[in-house]
Structure formats: structure tokens, C-alpha cells
A and B are shown apart, each in its own frame.
Chain A
Amino acid sequence: MSILHKTSPEVGGLGHPIKRKEDLRFIQGKGNYVDDVRLPGMVYGQVVRSPYAHARIKSISTEEAKKLSGVLAIITGEDLAKANLAWMPTLSYDKQMVLATGKVLFQSQEVAFVVAEDRYTAADAAELVEVEYEELPVLVDPHKAMDPGAPILREDREQKSNHIFHWEVGDRKATDEVFQKSAVKAKVQAFFPRCHPAPLETCGCVADFNRATGRLTVYMTSQAPHVHRTVFALVGGIPENNIRVVSPDIGGGFGNKVPVYPGYVCAIVASLTLGRPVKWIETRSENLQSTGFARDYHMTAEIAADSDGKMKALRVKTLADHGAFNAAAQPTKFPAGLFSICTGSYDFSNAFCEVDGVYTNKAPGGIAYRCSFRVTEAAYLIERVVDVLAQELKMDPADVRRKNFIPANKFPYKCALGWTYDSGNYEAAMKLALDKISYQQLRKEQAEKRAKGELMGIGISSFTEIVGAGPAHTFDILGIKMFDSCEIRVHPTGKAMARMGTKSQGQGHETTYAQIVAQELGIPAADVTIEEGDTDTAPYGLGTYASRSTPTSGAATAMAARKIRDKAKKIAAHLLECSENDLEWEPGKFYVKGAPSKAKTIQEIAFAAYTNVPPGLEAGLEAVDYYDPPNLTFPFGTYVCVVDIDKGTGEVKVRRFVAVDDCGNIINPMIVDGQIHGGLTEGLGIAFMQQIDYDENGNVQGGSFMDYLLPTAVETPHWETDKTCTPSPHHPFGAKGVGESPNVGSPAAFVNAVVDALSHLGVKHIDMPITPWKVWNVLKEKGVAA
């Protein structure tokens, strides 16, 4: 649906690029991040970590450490075991050691927790804790995890195997039959390397148990404060009304701040024990080596097609490396997240997808990093294999896509793997992108360059993704349904306050939610205060990740505002002495049909709500809405990337990148563009620079910023963005999520461009990260290195 009423820029409803309300504190260095929290009597915690990937713990000696002046407590797994806290549940119904007992399963695993008066003493004491290990054989190759004779990692599981789950969806038999009958088959084995979200602020908390009141307050880097509160209540046995989780300002999340980490639990235990606030802030190395990683999917995709390029069936098989514990944060019924969106933008009559998850001696996880629950992996895979098909058939990759797009008139569209896409117009997005980048001209230029031996490539990614989890009938996390909420209260003088169950980590909620209220009620966004993150005051929600805020809480905000509008109408009718049926609405006021001067503004109505309500109606002007989305939303787009490859160094330079996104109706275009820039930059890093790898001994390679490279302003190209608008038919204001689209869609665009630059040499695929070294070796192999 299109937006019915346009508000003025002063009101700042949907579509206005109003400046952000939250900026003032950040630009003056007055943000309030967890490490800025300082409480009287606060002490510091530090984790002692395992240097081994797989080893038995023979002994832990804390004697030397305890002698240090200023050390207040040292907690080990044995101590926690006495309180039944040595293990905790993960969001995937597995369990994870809080502090190691018996053995350690990944390098950097938490082994002990030291608490001291200041952070320097805590660090000194952590160095003095002596742990004796007996090394065990290490398993780092997921392909070997299910071999007979592979070391069994999880002795705590009933079934002694490294196989976590097998999941499949689609029709295997029908799909296989189509493959048998098809003239053309394209196949790609694509690895999506383990990477890490690395938000600039690491994870941490201040756990403050107040002995006098019996209340535990946890200031925490949490993208989902209510869920965390419930988990702490269930795991810790503390009454939920005595726990308050506060997520203050968060310096980036990208999924890294969804899981519960041992550091949080240890800080809480320490605070309960000492009766003092305990601060735990991890270092960057700890963050990269032990917190929620992303991807690590070994995927194979095959397309069965006709010789004219019409795709018939898709077959996908994936091996998922989850590390030592399955701590992936995803909805219960989906052990591989929403990976089955891998049919992408294409109309497949048949499809089959299977995923097997295994344990290895690596950090646990692994869903994170702006992936929308594995949609990054799925989109990458389908966009890569479609290019491989195009190469097989010697067809232009844009033509193959166009030939197979789900047509715009086929929505809502039920795909072969079960999802019902709400709306889409893939061809329009692709046309805009190709026109903007002058595609035909680029192909001409490429042909000319090829004749001269120069390497230039064009990569297309026409992704469709799935966000906004999700409907109660299918989605829950640890049993809690994935609705979300909003509570709005309008004050007598016409200003308002609204709280949601989500939690921004930079997405601009203080502005965008205010704009939704402005749109629905006509109260200027500047007059609407938005609050999130304090579980004592905000209504229950599932948090912000997987691009779900606009689809769920955004919808709840609109619905709550409409409830207020309904009540406002009654009050207006009372004030204007007419019937409700005589009234019309435009943002900010009700007026009598045919007599527009007989009107009451929302501010006048608000005042009346406290001073002059009609008899029988309660005073006040507020509403709560818990929104159960009827479906997910399916944003999409086409990205086109142009690269030039230096034959001497293998360096890939991104010459141009055009991103056309469609997320339906947009709340704030300035904020959406900012999200796109940021996500594309993350995609650039993933495609060309980043990997968390492990050597055969389980040593982490890429455990600090020395090795885990992030793009700076110099490597990052200029991003060109544009939009099409295909609203979501089921969302209250036709919006879809968008924050993750750039990270979902861009890796394939980059990789397709590089492969396209080398396809005339017979190159079909190069795995990420596409480093200059990798490219140069390919050039050397093909005899074209300078």
C-alpha cells in the first residue's frame, strides 16, 4: 500500500530525511555505553582463557593469583558447578560451558574469572592463575567431523558424535528427477568463510546486585534485553521481577550482541557473591576469538536448466561448522536459520535443500553479522550458481536472471522451499541498476579490454532476502514467540513518549520510530521521545537483529498509534459535538466532513484527554500493541559491481558499485542510505579481506585486528545507491526491513565481478576472501600474471 497522507517536513512523518535526534550526545562524547557506566564500589572482572583448542584440565591453581593485593574473588568451573551454573543453555537448545569443567573445547575458551578492585590488578591476577592441561587431538576440519575415529568433542551429549543436526526442506525425489531429465546442469562449491561482526564496541556488562533491595541490574551490550532477562531468570533462579536489564547506548551489534556470553554470567555470579557491581568488558582479541562468529558454511549448489537458460530445479547441500557449542542465535524450528531462501529471486518448480551441522574445536556459534539468520549464505550461494550457469550456457548473467525472475504479477509467491514472498518486482530493480551503471557500455568496454589483455569484470547480484521474524505460528526463540511491541503515551501538552521491545545499536530508532508516530498521529517527530532497552519500562520484545525492527516493532508502533487515533476520534467528536462518522482525519487533526475549519488538533485532543473526556471514556491517551506479523517481509534489490584487476599484484580495485534496493515504503531515506553504505562496506571486507581461520592445532589465525582486516576509508569505494518501491501488502505501512540487505546482496556482486573478469580464462569460482595473493596465483596459473 502506498502512504495515504504525506506529512509536512516540520512534522517529519514517513519519507522525510530528518536529521537524527540521537546524534547530539554522540557528537559531544556524551554517549552512555556500557564501559561508561560507573557505579560506586564497582570492581572489575577478567576471564582466564584456554590456549588450547582441545585439552583436559588437570588442575587449576589460584593460590598465586589470590595473593595479589586487590583480588577479591576467583571463580572456576568447579565453583559454578556447585550452583549448577557451569553450563548454560544456548539459543539453539544446546548447552555451553560458562567456565570449563573437565576439558576445554576451543582456543580462548573461558576457564576462570578473576575479580579485582581495578582492571590492572585483574589483568595481573589473570596472568597468575595456573592451569595444567593435557592436550587432546584437535578437530578443525568439519569435513572430518563425522569420520569414524574423529575425536569426539562433546562428552556431555548422550549421542557420542560430532553431528549436531540434519535438516532438510523441499522435495528431494521430485528435484532429483528433474535433474536426471535436464539437459544442462551447473554446479558450484562455495565456501562462505568464518568471519566476525566485530562491532567497534566489544561486548561487556556491569552486573549490579543490590543486597539491600535484592534486585539485580545488568547494564549489558544486549540486542535483546528482555530475552536476556528471561534467560537470566530461568538459568540463575532469580525472580524475573528482581532482574532489570538495561541496554544503554550500544556501539554496533550486527548480531554479535545477541548471544549470552560466559562473561555476563560470571559477572552476575561475582556480583551476587560480592554484593558489589562487577564490570566485565572484553578486549578485541577476546571478542574475535570467543564471541558469536558468522558463516562457516561449506555449500554446494546445483541448478538443472534447459538449454535456453530456463532454470528448473535447485539442489543444495551444506555442511555447517558450529564450533564447539551450537550457540547460533536463530528461531527454534530453523537450525539452519532462513537458509532455505536460497531459491532467491527465481522461479524454481522444484528445489531441495539439506544442511548438516557439526562440532569442531573452534569458537561456538554461529549466526551473526547482519545475516538475517543465514540469508547471507543463501543469497551468496544462489547468486554465485546462477552466474556459473550463465557461464556454462555462454549467456549474459543479466539475461539469465531476467529469464528466471519471479514475475511481478505472481506475488504473493510460494517458493519451492515453502516461503511465501509478500511482494517483489525484480526486473524493475535490475533495470534501474543496469541503466544506472550503463551496463551495455561496460560489456563493450570489457570486450575491448580483453582484446588488449586487461582484466575487468562486472558482477551482478539480484538478491531477495527474508526479514522480520516472525509469525507466531512458525517463529520462536527458546519458546518465546517472535512478536514485538510498542507502548505510546501522549501527554496533556501534546508531546509523546513511546517505548518498544527492540534495541537500536545505531539504526536510528530514536528518530525512525518517532517518524512513525508522526506519520500516524501528526505529532511532530521532534515532540516524540523514544526509549528502548530498559526491561523495567519497555514492553516485552525480542530485540533488534535480522532486520526485524521495522517489520515487527515498527508495525506495532503504527498499530498502537492507530488505537490512540481511534480514541482521539471519540474525544474529537465529543469536543466538536458531532458523531464520529462525521469526522475526517489528516495527520495532526480531525475535522468535520465538508467543514474543514471545524477541527481539533491532536494537541487539543491530547489536552482534552486529561481535562474533558466524554462520559464513559477513560482519561489518558495511550495504547500498547503487541504485533504478531502475519508473514515475513522480502526486501530485494540488484547490485552491480565493476572491478579492475592488476595483473602484477592481483589487487582487485572496485571501480564502481551501484546498489538498487527495494524495501517498500521508507521511513527515513537518509538513514536507509547510511545503512546501505555500511552494509556494503562490511560486504567488501568479507569478500576481499576477512577470515577467522584455524590452523591444524586449533590456533586462531585472525584473532586480532593485526590479522582480521576491516576496511578503512581508503579501501572503501564510493557507493551509489538508488531505490525502487514495492510495498509489503501485509505491513501496516507497507515497509520491509533493510539493514541487512547490503551485507546479504553484496558478497556475490563482488565475487561475481572478479570471476567475470577471469571467466574468459576458464575461471569458474574463487572462494572468499579474495585476497591479492589468491588472485595472483590464479593469474599465474592461467599464464597471465604480469
Chain B
Amino acid sequence: MALKIEKTFQVPEPAEKVWAILSDPRKVATCVPGAQITGQVDEKTYQGAISVKVGPSVTDYKGDVQIVRLDAQAHEIEILGKGQDVRGRGSASMKMTGRLRALPDGGTEIASVSEVNIVGILAQMGSRVIAEVSNIMFDQFVKNFQALLKQPSDAPESQGMAAREASPINATSLAWEAAKGLLRGKS
């Protein structure tokens, strides 16, 4: 199934600082819950993995992330990530476009449009679960991204690199959050 998620959020840091992180898949990956970059194929292509746990079942996707377009002038990035479940139970792909806009108060607005496609057992659980899980993942990404921005820029790279073990997102708690969100009337 295809899901389109559009999210916009703001950070107090200037556009150049934000761009430094957003244009680096290795840094972005550290903000995505359960994800890690495991290697680099060429300057545009990285290998990655993400682990999603819903209840007792874990789905591990392995694949690659490609930078399709990088425009340092306009501060726009388009990446395409594709992965297959290592146990052959499905696949997922995501095309994400991120655009920065400098705000009058010196901060930055990040606008992202993501198209997520899920094939396989996870997709059978119904689009409503996937949509909510995706939303929560994105919210957590935003939090991580904001935290990373606040770190001093000369922090050792190893902190953000694949060396850190990616802990699988516990989507049961995510789903609970989602349910609470629905009840509260959050979109």
C-alpha cells in the first residue's frame, strides 16, 4: 500500500546548520528510530537496515538508500530507500523529499513529503496501523533531529555512525501512542 505523509516542522537553528545534517544520510539515519547505515556503495548510495517490532514479531528490512537529488542552493534533498525483509516476508520503499526554508527569526522550516510503500505481511495488518506507526516514527525522527541539531557540531562522528546499535522501534508502544493520539483527536 502507498502512504503519503507530509510533515513540516521548525527548528531554531539556521538553515546552513540544518542542511549539514539533512544532506548527510549517515547523520539522518541516526535520527530514524531503529535504522542504521551499514555501508556505502558510492557517493550517492548507502546500504542500510531498519528493524520494526510490532508486538512479538520483528521485521528486519535490509536494502539501500540512494540520494536521488541534492540541491545545496535550494536546500532540497530527495532520497529513495528500498529494502526487503530479510526473511522474505515483504518489502518496503520510501521516497522522501526534504526542503528547507529560512525563517525570518533565524530559524529553519523543514518541509518533507514522504511516500511509503509496503508490500507483504505488514501491509495486511491494515493501512490504519501502518499510517499511525509511520506518523509516530516521524514524530520521533523530528525529536531526534532536533536533539542532534542542539549537539555541538564538533561532536565525534562515531556518535552518529553505524557503530551505535540500532534498537528496534517497539511499535506496540508506538501503536498505543497512536491509539491515544486518535482518541485525543490528533491528526
Contact = CB atoms under 8 A, between A and B. Distances in A.
Query: Are A and B in direct contact (Cβ within 8 Å)?
Result: yes
Q: Which of A51, A107, A130 has the largest number of chain B CB atoms within 10 A?
A: A51
Interface stretch (B20-28, B103-111, B114-122, B172-180): B114-122
B104 to A, nearest CB: 40
B119 A697 contact: yes
Contacts of B126: 701, 706-707
B124 interface: yes
Nearest to B89: A51
B54 to A, nearest CB: 13
Interface residues of B, number: 20
Q: Which of B86, B87, B88, B126 has the largest number of chain A CB atoms within 10 A?
A: B88
Interface of B: 1-2, 84-91, 117-121, 123-127
Contacts of B86: 130
Contacts of A133: 84, 88
B1 A51 contact: no
A243 to B, nearest CB: 35
A699 B89 contact: no
B89 A697 contact: no
Contacts of B2: 695-697
A703 B1 contact: no
A695 B87 CA distance: 22
Contacts of A527: none
Interface string A361-388: 0000000000000000000000000000
Interface residues of A, number: 23
Interface in A671-707: 695-701, 703-704, 706-707
Given A695-B2, A701-B126, A132 B119 contact: no
Given A696-B2, A697-B1, A699-B1, A135 B91 contact: yes
A695 B123 contact: yes
A699 B125 CA distance: 10
Please report whether the interface of chain B is mostly helix, strand, loop or mixed according to DSSP: mixed
Q: Which of A53, A133, A285 has the largest number of chain B CB atoms within 10 A?
A: A133
A127 interface: yes
B44 to A, nearest CB: 22
Given A51-B88, A697-B117, A700-B124, 8 more contacts: A52-B91, A107-B124, A130-B87, A289-B124, A696-B2, A699-B1, A699-B118, A701-B126
A51 B89 CA distance: 5
A274 interface: no
A349 B51 CA distance: 65
Contacts of B123: 695, 697, 699
B46 to A, nearest CB: 21
Interface string A289-317: 10000000000000000000000000000
A131 interface: yes
Contacts of B87: 127, 130
Contacts of A131: 88
A699 B124 contact: yes
Nearest to A131: B88
A695 B123 CA distance: 9
A107 B123 CA distance: 11
Contact of B119 (A289, A698, A701, A703): A698
Contacts of B127: 695, 701
B89 to A, nearest CB: 5
Interface in A118-149: 127, 130-133, 135
B124 A704 contact: yes
Nearest to B91: A135
Contacts of B121: 51
A771 to B, nearest CB: 15
A698 B124 CA distance: 10
A132 B88 contact: yes
Interface in A550-576: none
A53 B1 CA distance: 12
A51 B87 CA distance: 10
A704 B123 CA distance: 12
Given A132-B88, A695-B2, A696-B2, A52 B119 contact: yes
9 contacts: A51-B85, A51-B91, A52-B91, A130-B86, A696-B2, A697-B1, A697-B123, A699-B120, A703-B124
A221 to B, nearest CB: 24
Nearest to B120: A51
Contacts of A130: 86-88
A285 B121 CA distance: 11
Contact of B1 (A132, A695, A704, A707): A695
B161 to A, nearest CB: 29
Interface string A263-291: 00000000000000000000001000100
Interface in A518-532: none
Q: Which of A132, A697, A703 has the largest number of chain B CB atoms within 10 A?
A: A697
